[in-house]
Amino acid sequence: MLALRLNGKDRDPVPERMDPDPVPDGWVEVRLRAAALNHRDVWIRQGLYAGIRYPFTPGSDGAGYIGNDPVLINPGMDWGSNPAAQGAGFHILGMPSNGTFAQRVSVPASQVYPVPAYLSMEEAAAIPLAGVTAFRALFTRGRARPGERVLVTGIGGGVAQWVFRFGLAAGMEIWVTSGDDGKIREAVQRGAAAGMNYKNEQWPELARTSGGFDLVVDGAGGPFAAAILKYMNPGGRIVVYGGTAGAVEKWLPQPLFWKQLDILGSTMGTPEDFEAMMAFISTHRIAPVLDQFFPLEKGADAYHRMALGAQTGKIILQIPDE
C-alpha cells in the first residue's frame, strides 16, 4: 500500500510503499479514502512529542470503508475508566502507532463509526479529533447552554471551527477572535455575532460592548487569555484545550475569585463524548468547514500549509484506491 512516512525530525513526510500492519483479533482494517491534518501532525514533525520512533505513518483523522460500509475512525485510544480524565494508557492514533495517512489502517472495531449519509468522505475525515475535542470542551467541560454568549478564540483552526458550528446549532451567541480580519468577516457571514482581532489594540473596546462572555473556549493561551478575564460574566467558565500562543502570564486572582470564574482544561474526549458528538452532528446535519485538498503524494505541501496557519477549517488528504 501507499503511505506517507515520517523518517526523522523536521523532515518532510514522503510517500512510500509498505505492507499493511497485521489485523489482530477484535480489530478491523479500514480502506481509507480521506484523512485530515491537525496541528498535532505538525508538532510531531517538529519532534515536540515524547517517545517518537522513526519511521512511522502519521495521521489521526480518517474515513474510508470496511467492506462496502463507509466509516470514520475515533482516534482516541484506551481512554480508561475515569470519565473526568484520560488514563495513563491513553494515546492517539498516528504516533506511536501507524496512522491514517495511508491507504489502509488497522484499529480496534470499537473505534469505527458509520459516516452520516449526507457527508462526503472528505467531510467525514474532518470530524474526529477536532470534533470530539470541541464537543467535550464546549458541552462536557464548558457546560454551555442555549442563549449563552460564547467566545471562540483562533477561529481559523479546526477545533475552533467545530466549537463555532456546535455553538450555533445549540442556540448560543458566538463571538470569535483571530489575527486575520478576513477570517473574522467569514465567521460573521457564517453566523457569528462579532469578532475581535487580537492584534488590534482597540479590541477591548469591542469586548466592552459585548455584554460579557459566559464561556470562553480557548486553544491559544498567551496574553489574550489573561486579558479576557476582565470581560467575563460572573460565574463564567474558561475552557483551555491548547496553547499555540504560549504561556499565560499575569493572570490576576481578583477577577477569578470576585466573579467566581472556573478555568477548566480539556483534551480529546471519552467514547461517550464521541458517540454524543456523532449523534449531535447527525441530528443537526452539520458539515465541517474544509480548507484545501491535497493528494496523499503531496502530503508535504499539506504540512507546509498547516505550519503557516493560513487555513480556515480542515486541510484534507485525498487517498487513492489501491
CATH number at residue 108: 3.90.180.10
| pLDDT 10s digits, 21-68 | 999 999 999 999 999 999 899 999 998 888 888 999 999 999 999 999
pLDDT of residue 215: 98
115/153 same-domain check? no
119/149 same-domain check? no
Q: Within a domain: residue 271?
A: no
| pLDDT 10s digits, 69-118 | 999 999 999 999 999 999 999 999 999 889 999 999 999 999 999 999 99
Per-residue pLDDT at 252 exceeds 90: no
Task: Please give the residue range of the domain that contains residue 244.
Answer: 132-265
The average pLDDT across 255-271 equals 95
Q: Within a domain: residue 85?
A: yes
104/201 same-domain check? no
Per-residue pLDDT at 244 exceeds 80: no
Cell for 6? 515520517
Q: Exposure pattern of 195-218 as b/e (b: 16+ CB <10 Å)?
A: bbbbeeeebeeebeebeebbbbbb
Q: How many domains does the chain have?
A: 2
The confidence band for 322, taking pLDDT boundaries of 50, 70 and 90, is confident
Q: Within a domain: residue 280?
A: no
The confidence band for 125, taking pLDDT boundaries of 50, 70 and 90, is very high
9/105 same-domain check? yes
Per-residue pLDDT at 239 exceeds 90: yes
300/256 same-domain check? no
C-alpha pair distances (Å), 26 with each of 23, 255, 316: 8, 51, 29
Average pLDDT over the chain reads 94
Q: Within a domain: residue 53?
A: yes
pLDDT of residue 313: 84
35/68 same-domain check? yes
120/197 same-domain check? no
How far apart CA 34 and CA 31 sit, in angstroms, is 10
Q: Within a domain: residue 281?
A: no
Which residue do the cell numbers 481512554 mark?
A: 79
Cell for 225? 487569555
How far apart CA 298 and CA 214 sit, in angstroms, is 42
On the CB side of 301, CA atoms within 13 Å amount to 10
73/105 same-domain check? yes
252/202 same-domain check? yes
